[in-house]
Every structure is written in C-alpha cells, then in structure tokens.
Structure 1
Amino acid sequence: MSMLLSKWEPFKELKEMEERFNHMFPKVSELESSLVDFSPAVNTREGDYAYHVEVDLPGVKKKDIKVEVKDNRLLISGERKEKKETKKDNYQRIESSYGKFERSFSLPDGVDGENVKASCDDGVLEVTIPKLEKTKAGKQIKVD
C-alpha cells in the first residue's frame, strides 16, 4: 500500500475564497480607496520675489482648505467631500469620494511669513510666500 503525501496549507481555502470574492466584486477596492485619506500633488517654484506652492485639489471646496504658517513651516490641510449624481430615465448613480489631507513644508530663510497669500481656482491652490527684501547697502552702526 502506498501513501501519498501532500503539503498541508492551512490558509489555502481562505486565500481561494478571497480571490473568488475579489473576482466577483472588483469595485470593492476602488470604494475603499475613495474612503481613505489622500495626498494631493504639489508643485513648488522659486520666483524673483516669492516662492510659489501649487497644490492640486480637485473636488475640494475653498471653505474646506486651511493654510497656515507656524513654527517656520507652511501647513496645508483640508478635506475632500465630493458627490457626483447622475439621473437618467431608468437608473440613478451616485459616486462619492471623501478624504482628509495634510501637507507641510519647511520655509527657507529669508521669507516674509507674515504676508503669505493663498488663492484657489479650478481645483488648484496657489500659496505665495514673499521673500524678504535684501538690503544691498551696508548699515553703519554707531558706537556709543
């Protein structure tokens, strides 16, 4: 009598069940990704008189964006609460995406943190951080 040996895999059935579930409901992972926090894309550039930070925030309303300068850092945070609804004669579809974000940047030396300006247009936030004017002429110090 010969005995066949097979490798015992305790989680094999669980793995197969997960694969079947993912095959039957592929949209579950997309739904989960829309509920988690997101990290918006950021572009930075230096101009002659200021630094510019542009943040892509599609679906984020101005009232849900917070920009502050604290401890020599630029902090940008907010929340996306987007809901799209489509109604046709024989169906209705509602898609929602939510998520909080927070980005922070160390400010370089020589910036005017008191006069930072921010504006948002078409889902793009632009933060302008002016540079302090450099004095070219030296300053004479009186000796007492």
Structure 2
Amino acid sequence: MLENLYKQIVMDHYKNPRNRGKLDTTGGAFSLPYKNPTCGDVVVLYMNVDESGRIADIKFEGEGCSISMASCSMMTELVKGKTVEQAKELIGHFNDMIRQGVIPEDEDLLGDALALSGVHKLRARHNCSLLGWQGLEKAIKQSVAAE
C-alpha cells in the first residue's frame, strides 16, 4: 500500500515537475550542468543564493529517467527558501537514505523525497536519484567559492 503511494508521488513529480525551467543568469543566478556518466541523464541547475545565504530560487532543466527527474523536482522543492547550510544537511540525509537505507528520525525532513527510499535496494538506480542532489552539492561549493 505504502509502496503504491510512493510510486504515485514519484510519477507525479516526473509528470508535473516543480521548479522546471531556467533562471536569468544575468540577475545574479548561476547555472551548473551536471551529468550522470553511467546512464547519460543530464540536469542543469539554476540557483540564486541571496546575501543572507538562503537559496532564494532554484530551477532545473534536464533529460533523464523518471527517478532522476522526479528527484530533481523533489530536491528543488525541498531546498528552495532554505539556507545553504540547511541544504547541505538535507543532501547528507538524502545521500544516507539512498546509499545506506537510513531514514531520518524526522521522516518529514525529506518531504516527498522520502518516496525515493526504496531506491536504496536498487543499487543501479542510486546515481539516478542522486543526480540533482550531487549537482546541488557542486553548485553550493561553486557559490561559496565565488564569494
């Protein structure tokens, strides 16, 4: 029963992605292309971090499987409005869930991304679900280095 609900959430994010599109990079936002070399899925993240260190806006474009695109949608929805530090914590929790099967104590912490918890058992799909999150991690490092 719960597995069906999770599939529905993943498919909803895949068919109706949140935060899909571009941000104007001339207005302070930057873009970062990121590719999964094992399957060819690609994502371009657009992110604007305000002066207080908060992710003011984030969008993505990409091509890939339902898991990678749904995960990007979930990730952007989850981190928008969060501080860079909060986003780093969420990246860690998501990584732990996918790679080690560790669900955060506060199950609401990952929001809809919790629906991808079953990917832990599908080792070949780890990189799919982590694509956007790894891109976000790289984007954060790039934004911190630019300061």
Query: The TM-score by the shorter chain falls in which range?
Result: under 0.3
Larger Rg: 1
Structure with greater helix share of residues: 2
Report which structure shows greater RCO (CA 8 Å, sep ≥6).
Answer: 2
TM-score, normalising length: structure 1: 0.28
More strand by share: 1
Normalising by structure 2, we get a TM-score of 0.27
